[in-house]
Amino acid sequence: MKKTLSRLAIAATILMLPQLALTACGKDEPDDPSKPDKPDKPENVDPDKPVNDPVGTVSLNLMLGGSDPVIFTTPTGARFSLGITNDLNFTCTGEIAGIGKVAGLGNITQIPTSGWKRNAAVTKGEGYVVKFEYYDYDSESVTQIFGRIYVSGYLESALGTIIGAQIKYQCPFLMPIKLEYKDIEFGAETGLTRSVRFLNPTIVEVGVLPEWIESVTTTNQDITFTVRPNLTAKARTTTVSLKNSESTASVTLTQKGSDKPLFAEGEGTLKSPYKVGTAQQLDNVRKAPYAVFEQTADIDLSSYIPSSGNGWEPIADFTGVYKGNLHTISGLWINRPTTSNVGLFASISSGAYSISPQLSGIILKLGEQGIKGSNYTAGICGHLAGGIDVTECSVEGNISSKGMNNYISGIANTDKYDYYNDDNNCHVSRCQFLGNISGEGTIFGIAALAAVTDCRVVGNLEGGWQILAYGEGNRNCYISGNHPRGIGSLGTSCYSSDNATDEQMRHKATYEGWDFVKVWSIVEGNYPLLRCFDGK
């Protein structure tokens, strides 16, 4: 049975088919790396002079009208087959083009630009090229695969009739990597996507990329690089290697430095975070909410935030990483009683980049005005999406909110807790709140609807329903201070005046199972302290 493959509109592939001329396969002498490549010219291979079979050659007997064997399986599982019909025609799940008379498989060095058909006559001593296409749903692209075939002889019955053919094939059929040019320059904040065209149809493996290269995508004619904005004055460059079995090549990518840098150094990546050491740089975080940041010094916002107005504007839609390194941010205050999602950060969720958003090592000392907001008000972050970690953060000061249905927390809020899959929950660990929280809604000493471990609250909770945290994952926490309505949902090995006296809470024996070697410390007669904040 004749098999066909529907042609799909090519959306992205690292292969291209030149439209005007034949190109040839063969390893060239290295070109001057400073000059663009030139398309390969057909090699002058004598069709009557056999050359060695290429690496990966397979010999196969194909019977007329028999089952079509699979000759190539793609990484996505697509299977391509080749067969011979009863009337001695090749048929395949793709297209085939004849090359003509050649001495062997190694003499096929060209990919045709025309003559593609669904079938072709099987002729002894002739060569063919097949072309397959498959759709990769993950990358939403169509990729072309080429193969070369040589008919070395016929199979005959005892009566001398042809019943099949002896063939050799190699799939995939690769060509040397040829590039339109070898240097690409990107702007600092614009012109972040650039392409380089392949001059020969081929398949390549891309080498290791630095983190500031966000993605590599392909079409039927080029390979496209997208880089992240460069928010420092320093230019950056890298060389990306490309290879296949026929050759190697490289592309040098250079990105300009910014004329108006937001940060002194860094690349905004996990390996090289943007460095934050001033009030202005902290404020600039909102301009690159997708990036990775590392605080390098204590920051005082007292003189940076105008005394009139609403105070600090919470950093919204953050999808990156902020590492405070246990440096202090002091003097922050917010007066936005009708605004939701209020805190140092307004909201944090997962973004398009391949990093998991997280906050760590932030020590926040509020100004006298404290933080005033509406629903989802907290010290570190007003609203967290699921699956985000907050570790070793401290908030000192007063937080308040009006509204019966509001969530107010010392550290952070989220809006749901998953009892079935803890990976979907926010995790708050080794954090502390020192101060007062008041409001008409639900007051959480640490975090709303998050899994809270190894945290403490020293201060007063005044107003609505008072909770240390809410979630099955709560453990090894305590709260001291005034909370007249009692503390709900304490959790495992968690303590307050509801289940322990003040005297008991000042002795190590009360906290059975707590880690007093790495996490906690205690001096008998005093409340436990988190070791990560020693001296802070």
pLDDT tens digit string along 505-528?
999 999 999 999 999 999 999 999
Residues 2 and 131 in one domain: yes
Contacting residues for 82 by C-beta, under 8 A, at least 6 apart: 62, 68, 69, 71, 90, 91, 92, 130, 149, 169
73 in any annotated domain = yes
Residues 198 and 128 in one domain: no
Residues 372 and 475 in one domain: yes
29 in any annotated domain = no
Q: Which of 255, 285, 312 is the last residue of a domain?
A: 255
pLDDT of residue 262: 98
Where in 74-182 does DSSP place strands (E)? 79-84, 89-101, 110-111, 117-121, 126-136, 141-156, 162-170
Express as a percent the part of the chain with pLDDT over 70: 84
49 in any annotated domain = no
52 in any annotated domain = no
CB contact burial 505-521 (16+ within 10 A = b; e otherwise): bbeeebbeebeeeebbe
The arithmetic mean of pLDDT across residues 397-405, rounded, is 90
358 in any annotated domain = yes
**pLDDT, tens digit, 9 for 90 and up, residues 90-108:** 999 899 999 999 999 999 9
400 in any annotated domain = yes
- Helices marked H in 306-371 — which ranges? none
Residues 375 and 441 in one domain: yes
Q: Say which DSSP state 284 is in.
A: H
pLDDT of residue 204: 82
pLDDT at 86 over 70: yes
Residues 308 and 415 in one domain: yes
Residues 492 and 429 in one domain: yes
Range of the domain at 240: 183-255
Banded model confidence at residue 422, pLDDT cuts 50, 70, 90? low
Q: Which of 202, 222, 255 is the last residue of a domain?
A: 255
Number of domains in the chain: 3
Residues 344 and 478 in one domain: yes
167 in any annotated domain = yes
Residues 395 and 415 in one domain: yes
Q: Which of 173, 202, 220 is the last residue of a domain?
A: 173
Banded model confidence at residue 489, pLDDT cuts 50, 70, 90? low
Distance of CA 157 to the CA centre of its chain: 59
The arithmetic mean of pLDDT across residues 135-156, rounded, is 83
pLDDT of residue 25: 42
Residues 194 and 168 in one domain: no
Residues 414 and 524 in one domain: yes
Banded model confidence at residue 359, pLDDT cuts 50, 70, 90? very high
Banded model confidence at residue 172, pLDDT cuts 50, 70, 90? confident
Residues 329 and 477 in one domain: yes
27 in any annotated domain = no
Residues 244 and 293 in one domain: no
pLDDT of residue 472: 62
Domain CATH number, residue 204: 2.60.40.10
How are the residues of the chain apportioned to helix, strand and coil, as percentages rounded to the nearest 5? 5, 45, 55
**pLDDT, tens digit, 9 for 90 and up, residues 58-77:** 999 999 998 888 888 876 67
pLDDT of residue 100: 93
